[in-house]
Amino acid sequence: MEGIPHPVPRTVEEVFSDFRGRRAGLIKALTTDVQKFYQQCDPEKENLCLYGLPNEAWEVNLPVEEVPPELPEPALGINFARDGMAEKDWLSLVAVHSDSWLLAVAFYFGARFGFGKNERKKLFQMINDLPTIFEVVTGNVRQPMNQSGIHHNSSKSKSSGKPSRQPEINPSKGVKMSPLAKEDEESGEEEEEDDEQGATCGACGDNYGADEFWICCDVCERWFHGKCVKITPAKAEHIKQYKCPSCSSKRARV
């Protein structure tokens, strides 16, 4: 909710500038101004939202009354969870919702002003070059991905019976991601590329895509698109042993 009108961004550069300003305000609320932010999120008050403004300011306020709102709204009722969890966890939760809201606002502008495929791609790439608010707040800023656009932090190397699909991987935090990790450019041989083309998702059956997040079931050792089993990279960070929906249902019937 913004008390001062701001120019409506219409180009990719203007939308990104708007995104960057709102992001800076949100980061300020969750880091340098955290005590002030914490105090304003009184659980005794009504549903409150955290807004980032294009001028790098922030505010905690009630949601707008108009329906539908002029812009997508941030997470509602952040104040209710404040005293029910550790402060660090609460701030991380607000950060995740803030990241989602920023993307929603940016691509709302893109849809409103008719951005085409190339413009949307350019906007996302500009946004993706910045660390997320969650990464900044938690101090868990990821290193840039390698050429294939996939993190290679698998808790254990699994070939799933398919040779050459899992070259040397450096485990990190137990997150199982792409089954098709490529090494640096100099080791990208044709054999490996051919083998990657044959990998399929255990849920949808679609072939491997270099820009997609994958996760491996610890029980059946099949690989799945994260989107097919509703697992995001952030959620995978906290999973010690992943069981796919099929293995989970078998376990429940036993």
- Using CB atoms within 10 Å of the CB of residue 249, give its burial: 0 to 12 exposed, 13 to 18 middle, 19+ buried: exposed
* Residue-range domains of the chain with CATH: 12-138 (no CATH), 214-249 (3.30.40.10)
With 60 as the cut, is the pLDDT of residue 194 above it? no
With 60 as the cut, is the pLDDT of residue 175 above it? no
With 80 as the cut, is the pLDDT of residue 30 above it? yes
What's the average model confidence in pLDDT over 104-129? 94
With 80 as the cut, is the pLDDT of residue 181 above it? no
With 90 as the cut, is the pLDDT of residue 216 above it? no
pLDDT of residue 151: 39
Q: Measured between alpha carbons, how far is 103 from 35 in angstroms, rounded to an integer? A: 26
Q: What is the mean pLDDT of the chain?
A: 78
Q: Bigger pLDDT: 148 or 32?
A: 32
pLDDT of residue 230: 85
Least Cα distance to 84 among 35, 41, 143 occurs for 41
With 60 as the cut, is the pLDDT of residue 178 above it? no
Rg of the chain on CA atoms, in Å: 21
Q: Measured between alpha carbons, how far is 105 from 75 in angstroms, rounded to an integer? A: 13
With 50 as the cut, is the pLDDT of residue 176 above it? no
pLDDT confidence tier of residue 198, bands split at 50, 70 and 90: low
Tally Cβ neighbours within 10 Å of residue 112.
Answer: 13
Least Cα distance to 220 among 195, 203, 198 occurs for 203
- Using CB atoms within 10 Å of the CB of residue 74, give its burial: 0 to 12 exposed, 13 to 18 middle, 19+ buried: buried
pLDDT confidence tier of residue 253, bands split at 50, 70 and 90: low
pLDDT confidence tier of residue 91, bands split at 50, 70 and 90: very high
Q: Measured between alpha carbons, how far is 201 from 227 in angstroms, rounded to an integer? A: 11
pLDDT of residue 224: 84
pLDDT of residue 6: 65
Q: How many residues does the chain have?
A: 254
| Span 46-59, pLDDT tens digits | 899 999 999 999 99
Q: What is the pTM of this model?
A: 0.55
Q: Measured between alpha carbons, how far is 48 from 110 in angstroms, rounded to an integer? A: 27
